[in-house]
Amino acid sequence: MALQARGLIYPCFCTRKEIAAEIARAGAAPHGPAEAVYPGTCRTLDAAARAARRAAGVPFALRLDMARALAEAESAQGGPLTWHDRARGTQLCDPRPQGDVVLARKDLGTSYHLAVVADDAAQGVTLVTRGADLFEASHVHRLLQHLLGLPVPQYHHHRLVTDDGGQRLAKRSNALALRTLREAGRSPAEVIAMTGIEEGTTV
């Protein structure tokens, strides 16, 4: 892997429980867009320690050394990377708040971050449209695009449709689905009206 040859990724042997415990010991709040930000526990393991754990069959994920990767990218670029969101304009790429994100999971050969960047490039995607809850992830994706020499699409992060309690509608929470509304005989115009968004409005 090109990133490995450049020293930009490293094996992480930590479990989620161990990561949470390390964050608690450090007195840091477990904050982040989706989960606690990884504290970098395995980043400082030397080659011998990593080899010994691999030889012992300890499962591991592959993480991006965010600080080193961003420094390499900005040095090559001659300044900060940027990306464009159609709703918010030009953005300076700053994925540091995401920490050393996982690029290959223990149970899979890849992670969301790596898969979506590779898939967008392979399919020739020029505009990525997704929810505002993934806005911060786009900073990570812009960095990966640079590191892997992939084209940079434009983005549009739309606001989320939420229920009466402000909870975003999602399958994981068994939210009301469009299919259910269709089966109940609701028309597209009625569904749009339920969102409170005027038809034809750019979100």
- Confidence check: pLDDT of 60 > 50: yes
Quick one: pLDDT band at residue 65, thresholds 50, 70, 90? very high
Residue 184: its pLDDT value, please?
87
Q: What is the pLDDT of residues 35-47, one digit of tens each?
A: 578 999 999 999 9
**Domain 2-158 -> CATH class:** alpha beta
- Confidence check: pLDDT of 31 > 80: no
Domain ranges of the chain: 2-158, 162-203
Quick one: pLDDT band at residue 22, thresholds 50, 70, 90? confident
Tokens 């967008």 sit on residue: 120
| Predicted model pTM | 0.81
Q: What is the pLDDT of residues 133-157, one digit of tens each?
A: 999 999 999 999 999 999 999 999 9
Distances in Å between the Cα of 118 and the Cα atoms of 1, 20, 148, 151, 171 are 14, 30, 9, 10, 25
Q: What is the pLDDT of residues 154-183, one digit of tens each?
A: 999 988 877 677 777 666 666 777 788 888
Say whether 59 sits in a helix, a strand or coil.
coil
Say if CB 148 and CB 175 are below 8 A apart.
no
Radius of gyration of the chain (CA): 20
Residue 106: its pLDDT value, please?
83
- Confidence check: pLDDT of 59 > 90: yes
Quick one: pLDDT band at residue 104, thresholds 50, 70, 90? very high
Residue 66: its pLDDT value, please?
97
Better-predicted residue by pLDDT, 1 or 177: 177
Distances in Å between the Cα of 201 and the Cα atoms of 40, 80, 134, 138, 192 are 43, 33, 21, 24, 10
Residue 201: its pLDDT value, please?
55
